[in-house]
Amino acid sequence: MSDVTRAEICVAACADLFAGAGETLASPMGLVPSLGARLARLTTEPDLLVSDGEAFLLTPESTVEGWLPYRKVFDVVAHGRRHVVMGANQVDRFGNQNISAIGDHARPTRQLLGFRGAPGNTINHRTSYWVPKHGTRVFVEKVDVVSGVGYDRAVGPFHDIHRVVTNLAVLDFATPDHAMRLVSVHPGVSVDEVQQQTSFPLVAGNVTETRLPTDEELELIRTRLDPDAKRDREVRS
């Protein structure tokens, strides 16, 4: 198939977050991560359980297949068989994430969502981040408030910040000191462009190009998962 969009590349990159997950609870926040989790379930990860973020488990076609209210989500968080893909108003080079407030904590200029599940998620199980607009406002030298805990803080054995997927690139923390590394740039994006949109130096040794979705994946995205192309509203470039 031709004319693959940036949003479709991001959906496939989000599906790849769940590679090898098996019977794990996927908690994707945002449309593109949600499409990615459902795509993974339909292709490589048939045992993936996909949460709606509220009280249900859903099939890829959004039919309810299980009941999972918050109190039960906390059981799974503590157990660890969960991979959450959260958003981030700010994220720094060691994967600290902020969804709480902007500015000085005593007098913030913006009150955001609060800490929500971020601290508990990041110390208990695998966590990834989705950033639909990669820019220096989000990728900061130091987050104003730590909601999700990064690699440079005291963390236990279950801390696992896996990847960051953005509208420009895929990044991870697979470096000796867990500083953020550029894994791949999406087709049409340069390494320089990603660096310019990031406030701290990225480790960028062996950067590849993010893969295109397969024909089967494109068919699934376009006809079964998101026939109204709502994904294009979340990712413009």
Which residues bind to ligand F8G, rule: CB under 6 A? 27, 29, 70, 73, 77, 84, 86-87, 89-90, 99, 102, 110, 112-113, 116-118, 121, 137-138
The smaller minimum CB distance to ligand F8G, of residues 73 and 170, is found at: 73
The smaller minimum CB distance to ligand F8G, of residues 135 and 175, is found at: 135
Which residue, 127, 47, 123, is CA-closest to 83? Answer: 127
C-beta of 209: minimal distance to ligand F8G in Å? 26
The smaller minimum CB distance to ligand F8G, of residues 143 and 225, is found at: 143
C-beta of 1: minimal distance to ligand F8G in Å? 29
- From start to end of the chain, where are the E strands? 25-28, 49-51, 56-58, 64-67, 82-86, 90-91, 97-98, 101-102, 110-111, 126-131, 160-166, 169-172, 181-185, 208-209
Residue nearest ligand F8G, CB atom distance: 87
C-beta of 50: minimal distance to ligand F8G in Å? 14
Q: CA 144, CA 64: separation in Å to the nearest integer?
A: 38
The smaller minimum CB distance to ligand F8G, of residues 90 and 197, is found at: 90
C-beta of 48: minimal distance to ligand F8G in Å? 16
Strand-pair category, 56-58 with 64-67:
antiparallel
Identify any residues that bridge with 67 across adjacent strands, giving them in sequence order.
Answer: 56
Query: Contact, 126 vs 160, CB < 8 A?
Result: yes
Q: CA 184, CA 189: separation in Å to the nearest integer?
A: 10
C-beta of 218: minimal distance to ligand F8G in Å? 25
The smaller minimum CB distance to ligand F8G, of residues 99 and 170, is found at: 99
